[in-house]
Chains A and B, each alone.
Chain A
Amino acid sequence: MQQARELGLLGENILGSSFGFDVQIVRGGGAFVCGESTALMASLEGKVGEPRPKDVHTVVDGLWHKPTTLNNVETWANVPSIMLNGSAWFASKGSKGSKGTKILALTGHIKNTGLVEVALGTPIHTVLFDIGGGSANGDRIKAVQTGGPSGGCLPADKFHLPIDFEALAEAGSMVGSGGMVVMDEDTCMVDVAKYFLTFLQDESCGKCVPCRLGIDRMLEIITDITEGRGKPEQISLLEELGHTISETALCGLGKTAANPVLSTLRYFRHEYEAHISKKDCPAGVCQALITYEIDPEKCTCCGVCKLACPHEAIIGDKERVHTIDLQLCQQCGICRSECKFEAVQVN
């Protein structure tokens, strides 16, 4: 910006003309909810970053009660190339309803992580396998979470879907921020939903009832499920509560906060059911539902796991095959990651 000012591209009388334009950078309120349009404006005005009801749109009554157009940096970055090449050029990229390109942030259990820019409408599997290079350790990719914390999880059989606004929304997720978290078979989808809910609960402003109490109750139920106290009727309660939050919350954060739960319930309901009826975590993640066991055939009595165990739960010595004292074991999984012979197994 300093350089642009020195070159006379910003400020009064740009390039000697009578046209003036300036850019100002303001440090954000630091909260996830401050990305919501009205909360962002409240935050810019120096008020608490809380959304307000949007029956009057911000294009009519926005920042300082003036008409405001709100776009993110990615959108602005597209403007110069559209001005230079024309709208037809821009619209030639992308799918029928979603034009242009989108920057995606590939992360998780994938070989090539990082930022990639693709035309909207590119199928998910092209991004995951052609660009991302498939899963990091050769395991099958089970799901991908698109659109950031309030996006949804899509299973492998939806990887043919194009990345555009309509297709992803229809599948219960969204393009959103463009985040793509790739998850392999070692990921428990109930645990994923719990993780994102914990984040959203921290970041909710707490103003409206469905978001504040609803996320809290959803998290309470999911915690029950991951800790073996789940009841079958809680699945339908989660669904009902999720839909209530989506329909009644005040702002975009609340309206999408149930997505992680609703999308995992839609595509990975069997995992919820296994947690509840069999008290079993199929991916071996939820600590309260798993036990570790040492395979006596594979154990070489090396003692590495015994040294590593912070709870002194491993019994055995150089002559004796190691065993785990289930009373002392806290299911931290350190022994499993330390063992070079894959002798520690999850049940």
Chain B
Amino acid sequence: MLQYVTLKIDGAHIRAAKGTSVLDAAIEYGVCIPHLCHVPNLSDIGACRLCIVEHLVNGRSKVTTSCTLRVQEDMVIQSNTERIRKLRRNIAELLVAQAPNSRAIQDIAVRCGVKEVRYPFRNENCVLCGRCVRACSELAGARAIDFVGRGKGRRVDSPFGILSEFCIRCRTCIDLCPMTIMPCNGYMEPGEEHLCGACESQLLFADEVPGFCVECELGEGFQCGRY
């Protein structure tokens, strides 16, 4: 039988099944916590760090990712404090500077309140969220791709760079990739990268009602758990 616990997220009492993550519980109740590497039904690795929340333990707050944090009885979570918003904005800014040519990443940046990007744009075509890697092993059961290399040289590849015979060509990896969604106004040439203004107008709307899900279209871009 499922056991339930009650926890507090942003002041709201939320009942969730034991074993679920704080992020899943929050999304289910419409508390909007931006996330990128989390995909429902896949394991969580806590790589993108966008879903950070403040977890209050014995009066001290600890910043941790909500996707890897399991719900516990009487837990107190704050997902939308000034401190969290600032950290999240800085992380989203790093991501969008790395890969401006993705609507998903742009949407995340806008949702996290990035107004300007203070780093030179780079036009990379992968942000190493690892969705494809986990989908390949956990959904397709193929393990045809994985991370290769370390640090700056890390990339997703098949073994020895040769298309693995384990690949069943199910295309799940492509479906889940946040980089395959073009920015609203199409691909940006090097030197003309920018944050999408059309998305930014949605932010104004999101800003008025911060912290809970307004079923904004931004979520569609980064494949929010509610979409």
Contact = CB atoms under 8 A, between A and B. Distances in A.
A295 interface: no
Given A48-B147, A241-B90, A248-B63, A209 B49 contact: yes
B119 A217 contact: yes
Interface in A238-264: 240-241, 244, 247-250
A276 to B, nearest CB: 15
A237 B93 CA distance: 12
B149 to A, nearest CB: 7
Contacts of B50: 209
B151 A247 contact: no
Contact of B128 (A206, A240, A248): A206
Interface residues of A, number: 32
Q: Which of A209, A210, A237 has the most CB of B within 10 A?
A: A209
B98 A213 contact: yes
Contacts of B119: 217, 220
B91 A244 contact: yes
Contacts of A247: 63, 87
B169 interface: no
Interface string B21-61: 00000000000000000000000111111101000000000
B14 interface: no
Interface in B142-169: 147, 149-154
A31 B150 contact: yes
Given A53-B65, A220-B119, A248 B151 contact: no
Nearest to B90: A244
Interface in A167-212: 201-210, 212
Contacts of B139: none
Given A201-B151, A216-B152, A240-B90, A209 B47 contact: yes
A interface, over-half SS: helix
A105 to B, nearest CB: 25
Contacts of B65: 53, 250
B154 A212 contact: yes
Contact of B94 (A56, A209, A250): A209
Given A204-B151, A213-B95, A240-B90, A248 B52 contact: yes
A6 interface: no
Contacts of B97: 213, 217
Nearest to B46: A53
A213 B94 contact: yes
Given A55-B68, A237-B118, A241-B90, A208 B47 contact: yes
A212 B64 contact: no
A134 interface: no
Q: Which of A213, A214, A220 has the most CB of B within 10 A?
A: A213
Contacts of B150: 31, 33, 203-206
Nearest to B88: A248
B128 A210 contact: no
B140 interface: no
A213 B45 CA distance: 17
A323 to B, nearest CB: 39
A82 B92 CA distance: 49
Given A248-B87, A250-B49, A217 B94 contact: yes
A1 B150 CA distance: 34
B181 interface: no
B154 to A, nearest CB: 3
Given A55-B68, A240-B90, A248-B63, A212 B151 contact: yes
- 7 residue pairs, one from A and one from B, having the closest CB atoms: A206-B154, A53-B68, A244-B90, A53-B46, A213-B94, A204-B151, A206-B151
6 contacts: A52-B45, A208-B47, A220-B119, A241-B90, A248-B87, A248-B91
Given A241-B90, A250-B46, 8 more contacts: A52-B45, A56-B70, A206-B128, A206-B153, A209-B95, A210-B94, A212-B152, A214-B94
Interface of B: 44-50, 52, 63-65, 68-70, 86-87, 90-91, 94-95, 97-98, 118-120, 127-128, 147, 149-154
